[in-house]
Amino acid sequence: MSTRALEAIDRILDRGGDADDVLRAVVAELAREDGISWAGVLFLENGELSLGPEAGVPDERRRLRVPVDYQGTRVGELAVDGSAGEAFLRRVAGLVSAHVLLGWDTGGEAWEP
C-alpha cells in the first residue's frame, strides 16, 4: 500500500475529533486506495463483531480482516476488500485502535486518546 495513504491516515488522526468521524475518514481513505474497493471497522462487543463505519463497494470474496487490539485487548477488526497487504492493514489497525475502543466502550462519556 502507498506511503500516501499512511500519510493521509496520519493527518486524519492528527486532526482528531469524534472517534466515529475519525474512523469514517480512515475507512474512506482506505477505500480510495488503488486496489481496495471497500473498507470497514468492526467493533467487538460482548464477544460479537458489529460493523461500524464503512466506505466503498463491498466484494467479500476479496476480504482481508486483521484484529484491532488496544493495550493487548481485542476491540475489533479492520477489514478491506481488495489487494491490501496484511502488514499495511496491521499498521493501520494499530494506529486506529484507541478510536475503535471508543466506538463502543465509553458509554457516552468524553475521552481523549
pLDDT tens for 20-69 read 999 999 999 999 999 999 999 999 988 899 999 999 999 999 999 999 99
DSSP 8-state assignment for residue 2: -
Given this structure, which CATH class describes domain 3-105? alpha beta
Residue 110 scores a pLDDT above 60: no
Banded pLDDT at 103 (limits 50, 70, 90): low
- The grid coordinates of residue 102 equal 471508543
Q: Where exactly are the structural domains of the chain?
A: 3-105
Angle among Cα 26, 29, 33 to the nearest 5 degrees reads 140
Task: Catalogue the E-assigned strands of 8-106.
Answer: 36-45, 48-56, 63-70, 73-82
Q: What is the b/e burial string over 31-43, where b = at least 16 CB atoms within 10 angstroms of the residue's CB? A: bebeebbbbbbbb
Say whether pTM exceeds 0.75.
Answer: yes
